[in-house]
Structure 1
Amino acid sequence: MTLRFILAGILWLAGLHGAEAGAWPRGKGNHFAFAALRGIGSEDGSLTPSFSYYHEYGLTDRLTLSADLGGAISGFEKTIIALSMPVPLPEFLGLKASMDLGYGEIDGQQVMRPGLSIGRGFAQPEGWASVDMVAEIFPDLLLVDWKVDMTLGMTARSGHKYYLQVQSGQQMGDPFFSRVEASVAWRLRDGLYLDVGAAAGLVSTDPYRVKLGVWREF
Structure 2
Amino acid sequence: MTRLIALLLSCLLAPGPVLAGAWLREQNKAFTALSVTGFREEDGAIAYKTSLYAEWGMRPNLTLGLDAEEHRDLYGHALIFARVPVADLEDAGRFAAEFGIGAHHRQRQAWAMYKATLSWGKGFQTRSGGGWMAVDASLEYRTHEAVIRKLDFTAGLSSPRRIDPLLQIETSYVPGRPFYWSARPSIMYRPKDGPNTWLVGLEKNSFKESVGLRLSLWRDF
The TM-score normalised by the length of structure 2 is 0.79
For the 8 Å contact 2:91–2:122, the answer to whether it is kept is no
The separation in 2 between residues aligned to 1:46 and 1:67, in whole angstroms, is 30
2:214 corresponds to 1:211: yes
Instruction: Quote the sequence identity (%).
Output: 28
In the TM superposition, 1:11-90 aligns within 5 A as 22-44=21-43, 46-71=45-70, 76-90=75-89
Partner of 2:136: 132
TM-score by length of 1: 0.80
Cα displacement string for residues 26-85 of structure 1 (whole angstroms, at most 9, x for unaligned residues): 01001110000111344455421111101000001110000111149xx83111100000
Distance 2:215 2:153 in 1: 20
Q: Distance in 1 between matches of 2:41 and 2:138?
A: 26
Report the Cα distance in structure 2 between the residues aligned to 1:126 and 1:92, rounded to whole angstroms.
Answer: 14
Q: How far, CA to CA, are the matches of 1:161 and 1:45 in structure 2? A: 32
User: Which letter does structure 1 place at the counterpart of 2:99?
Assistant: L
Instruction: Name the CA shift for 1:83/1:42 in 2 (closer, same or farther; >3 Å).
Output: same
* Paired position in structure 2 for 1:150: 153
What letter is aligned with 1:50?
A: K
Q: Is the 8 A contact 2:188 2:197 kept in 1?
A: yes
For 1:213 and 1:152, the matched residues in 2 are separated by 17
Cα deviation for residue 135 of structure 1 reads: 2.1
* Distance in structure 2 (CA, Å) of the matches to 1:55 and 1:148: 21
Deviation at 1:172? 5.1
Q: For 1:112, which of 108, 114, 118 is the aligned residue?
A: 114
Counterpart AA for 2:157: M
CA distance in 2, matches of 1:127, 1:190: 22
CA–CA distance in structure 2, aligned partners of residues 63 and 214 of structure 1? 24
Q: Unpaired runs of 5+ in structure 2?
A: 9-18
Aligned to 1:103: 101
The amino acid that maps onto 2:197 is Y
Which residue of 192, 198, 203 maps to 2:196? 192
Instruction: After TM superposition, give the deviation of residue 196 of structure 1 in Å.
Output: 0.8
Please tell me the residue identity of whatever aligns with 1:196: V
The separation in 1 between residues aligned to 2:141 and 2:81, in whole angstroms, is 14
Q: Which amino acid aligns with 1:197?
A: G
Tell me the CA shift for residue 177 of structure 1. 1.4
State how far apart, in whole Å, the 1-side matches of 2:55 and 2:43 are.
Answer: 37
Q: What is the CA distance between 1:91 and its match in structure 2?
A: 3.2
Distance 1:40 1:115, change over 3 A: farther
Query: What are structure 1's unaligned runs of at least 5 residues?
Result: 9-19
Name the amino acid aligned to 2:121.
G
- What is the distance in 2 between the residues matched to 1:129 and 1:52? 22
Structure 1 distance, partners of 2:168, 2:161, is: 21
SS in 2 for 1:182: strand
Distance 1:209 1:172 in 2: 27
For the residue of structure 2 that corresponds to 1:193, the secondary structure is strand
